[in-house]
Amino acid sequence: MSESPVPHDLPIYRRIADGLRARILSGELRDGDRLPGENALMADYSIARATARQALAVLINEGLAVPKRGSGVYVRSFKPIRRHGSRRLSREQWGEGRAIWDADTRGRPFTVDEVEVVREQAPEEVARILGGPDAWVRRRRYSVDGRPVQLATSYFPAQLVEGSPVTLPDTGPGGVYARLADLGLAPAHFTEEVRARMPAPRETEFLGLPGGTPVIVIARTAYTSPGSPVEHNEMVLDSAAYVLQYDFDA
Amino acid sequence: MSESPVPHDLPIYRRIADGLRARILSGELRDGDRLPGENALMADYSIARATARQALAVLINEGLAVPKRGSGVYVRSFKPIRRHGSRRLSREQWGEGRAIWDADTRGRPFTVDEVEVVREQAPEEVARILGGPDAWVRRRRYSVDGRPVQLATSYFPAQLVEGSPVTLPDTGPGGVYARLADLGLAPAHFTEEVRARMPAPRETEFLGLPGGTPVIVIARTAYTSPGSPVEHNEMVLDSAAYVLQYDFDA
DNA sequence: AAGTGGTCTAGACCACTCA
DNA sequence: GAGTGGTCTAGACCACTTA
């Protein structure tokens, strides 16, 4: 094929990917729509199979498309859950503010599975925060609409919660925080550290993540009013499923 | 049915990638170390070139490795900046003529480039928040240690800041927030929405991101004490360069 | 000059989905 | 059964880095 001399000469697979991306972002191709497959791209652009795959891989790694074996490659949908960090200063109280991203704020039910409660040694970084390695550890996975969206691991100083309901799989109404309050250890102050990165294979598996989906990692420590750490919680979130919201005053 | 990507026999490229990943995470291969290249993998495992590339692509897309043309594939380093959410925007920080960024960099030198200040129509979502499309828009790029780490676009309601220093490239000591305070529009409340996703090509280019690096997107709106929106700021952060921190009370 | 990663071709066999 | 994506081979030419 004759090529016109272009100063910014992008490789073929990039040009094809750019074209498909534009069609997705413009709304011409919508959530769940089928993209041109490998065979279609090979025919349309007179390219080899590997090149067509490379073009589609770009979009898959950007999280814009999802491949389905034996079926096709489809535009990916994004319907996040809104997670409120500091809800205390709800913006509805002081302004007619509106959210920039649409999110399903309706009470979609969370289900919890894979609950594991064990007594073990906390990793060094966590032990440094809690003041010692002896800990009760609660691991669980949260799902919404049958889809896993979050992995969470909580660490509690062993001597503080030993023999309490915090060490039981079912913590009853109000959850662990209510049980901590029963012990006179009500959390009063929180600090959260937020990162984003690509998932490890184990996280990809447990969260059922398609390619090109980063995870948000939140490390949150809860302190009592006197300032003693009572919980350290490490959460791994499907980034396509969440929008985090924080409200605060100057 | 739900796809479970757990075949009994992992493909060759996955096994090779898993082995290399283990060597990285165990610390055997450290920041900046060179990984076995395509030729080495072809020889070691008796595989074709494309298969070796596929194995390396896994690690590159996970953000664990960075390819360098004509040189090799290297283990990637991660040295983040700590960005304080609620604490860093306290009135004391900018009331004394210090820029917000000072609190973030902890002495590391930073530069601002690509400053652009224009009057234009805000996108629909932003116009909805600010109460109208007429806006002054400030775009800039922040770098630390010579490396771009953040893109930011701020929107100000045009009628509020018209003719003020907010519309100038250089806003003087204390930055735009101090100038807003001069106008009697001191920000009192903030709301931040945080997402993570893979970058668009433009973001990849402007931030100089290697493959496998997500971006953190923060959409922050600032309100005056009466509750009027005075700024909407959309930030795109290199996720490998940042840790966000939020502190709040129960 | 040798080695490296970037791009591309032209095939092949497989497991899976869907009509 | 036809079509799809997943994996893999065996080549090729290129631009770039390094010594």
Report if CB A57 to strand C is under 7 Å.
no
Q: Are B89 and B100 in contact (CB under 8 A)?
A: yes
Q: How far apart are CA B100 and CA B87, in angstroms?
A: 11
Which residues of chain B does A85 touch, with a Cβ-Cβ cutoff of 8 Å? 246, 248
Q: How far is CA B66 from CA A21, A29, A212, B47, B213, in A?
A: 24, 32, 17, 22, 10
Which residues of chain B does A96 touch, with a Cβ-Cβ cutoff of 8 Å? 227
Mean pLDDT of A205-234: 91
Tell me the two tokens of residue B137. Answer: 């828009």
Rounded to the nearest angstrom, the minimum Cα separation between B170 and chain A is 23
Domains B12-75 and B81-245 share a fold: no
Residue A227 has what pLDDT?
A: 84
Q: How far, in Å, is the CA of B71 from the C1' of nucleotide D18?
A: 7
- Dihedral angle computed from the Cα positions of residues B90, A129, B238 and B130, in that order, rounded to the nearest 10 degrees: -30
Do the Cβ atoms of A245 and B61 come within 8 Å?
no
Could you state, in order of their start, the residue ranges of all structural domains in chain B? 12-75, 81-245
Ramachandran assignment for B153, one of left (phi > 0), alpha (psi -120 to 50 degrees), beta (any other): beta
> pLDDT, tens digit, for every residue of A123-151?
988 898 898 999 999 999 998 877 899 99
Q: Which nucleotide minimizes the distance between its C1' and the CA of B66? A: C5
Topology (CATH level 3) of domain A81-245: Chorismate lyase (3.40.1410)
Q: Is the pLDDT at A246 greater than 70, yes or no?
A: yes
Which residues of chain B does A88 touch, with a Cβ-Cβ cutoff of 8 Å? 248-250
Q: Which has the minimum average pLDDT: A7-11, A149-153, B200-204?
A: A7-11
Residue A166 has what pLDDT?
A: 93
Residues with Cβ within 8 Å of residue B72, at least 6 apart in sequence? B34, B35, B37
Mean pLDDT of A212-240: 92
Nearest to A197 by CA among B17, B106, B210, B28: B210
Q: Which has the minimum average pLDDT: A91-105, A144-158, B12-26?
A: A91-105
Q: pLDDT confidence of A191, banded at 50, 70, 90?
A: confident
Protein residue at shortest CA distance from C1' of D4 = A70
Q: Which has the minimum average pLDDT: A18-27, A76-85, B10-19, B31-40?
A: A76-85
Do the Cβ atoms of A247 and B191 come within 8 Å?
yes
Report if CB B14 to strand D is under 7 Å.
yes
Residue B103 has what pLDDT?
A: 40
Q: pLDDT confidence of B107, banded at 50, 70, 90?
A: low
Count Cα neighbours of A245 within 13 Å in the Cβ-side half-sphere: 21
Q: Is the pLDDT at A247 greater than 60, yes or no?
A: yes
> pLDDT, tens digit, for every residue of A63-72?
999 999 999 9
> pLDDT, tens digit, for every residue of B213-229?
999 999 999 999 988 99
Q: Is the pLDDT at A91 greater than 60, yes or no?
A: no
Which residues of chain B does A247 touch, with a Cβ-Cβ cutoff of 8 Å? 189-192
Q: Is the pLDDT at B128 greater than 90, yes or no?
A: yes
Nearest by CB to A198, from B6, B195, B212: name it. Answer: B212
Q: Is the pLDDT at A96 greater than 70, yes or no?
A: no
Q: How far is CA B97 from CA B82, B93, B164, B179, in A?
A: 21, 8, 18, 10
**DSSP codes of every residue in A199-230:** PPHHHHHHHTPPTT--EEEEEEEEEETTS-EE
Q: How far apart are CA B137 and CA B116, in angstroms?
A: 8
Report the run of H or E that residue A27 belongs to, with start and end. Answer: none
Least CA distance to A201: which residue of chain B?
B18
Residue A115 has what pLDDT?
A: 81
Do the Cβ atoms of B219 and A245 come within 8 Å?
no
Residue B23 has what pLDDT?
A: 94
Q: Is the pLDDT at A8 greater than 80, yes or no?
A: no
Residue A103 has what pLDDT?
A: 60
Residue B153 CA to chain centroid, in angstroms?
Answer: 13
Which residues of chain A does B155 touch, with a Cβ-Cβ cutoff of 8 Å? none
For A12-75, CATH gives 1.10.10.10
Do the Cβ atoms of B191 and A80 come within 8 Å?
no
Where do runs of H (alpha helix) occur along A38-172?
38-45, 49-61, 124-130, 158-161
Q: How far, in Å, is the CA of B21 from the C1' of nucleotide D17?
A: 25
Least CA distance to A21: which residue of chain B?
B200
pTM given for the model: 0.87
Least CA distance to A196: which residue of chain B?
B239
> pLDDT, tens digit, for every residue of B42-72?
999 999 999 999 999 999 999 999 999 999 9
